[in-house]
Amino acid sequence: MFAVCVHVCVKEENRDQFIEATLENARATIREPGNLRFDVIQQVDDPNRFVLYEVYRDTSGMEAHKDTPHYAEWRDAVAPWMAEPRRGVKHQSLFPKTEAGWKTEG
């Protein structure tokens, strides 16, 4: 499994738009066959900063996400709202080692 943490800082005046667009993208992403998790988290002491925590079955699932229409729409919509360039950091999952280790809703 592979994870990516995307660090985002948005302009204050675009924060609500960013949240709306990002939640829409997250809802679509969790329906992708290669995606296991997509969390949108907002920093408590600076509400203009976010981390998107995405987990994929493998690198091909992570790459396939970038080819989806909803990702392209999100990427293009949020670009002018950035206070600084977003930064994605890729990680390899050590625990849990398998999909079965993830707790799911429901």
- Residues 47-59 have pLDDT tens digits of 999 999 999 999 9
35 in a structural domain: yes
106 in a structural domain: no
Per-residue pLDDT band for 97 (boundaries 50, 70, 90) equals confident
Q: Name the 3-class secondary structure at 5.
A: strand
Count of domains in the chain? 1
- Residues 8-34 have pLDDT tens digits of 999 999 999 999 999 999 999 999 999
Single pTM value for the model:
0.89
8 Å CB contact between 52 and 78: no
For residue 23, the enclosing domain spans 2-97
Percentage of the chain exceeding pLDDT 90: 81
103 in a structural domain: no
**CB atoms inside a 10 Å sphere around CB 10:** 22
Q: Name the 3-class secondary structure at 68.
A: coil
104 in a structural domain: no
84 in a structural domain: yes
Helices (H), ranges, the chain: 15-29, 59-65, 69-78
CATH of the domain at 44: 3.30.70.100
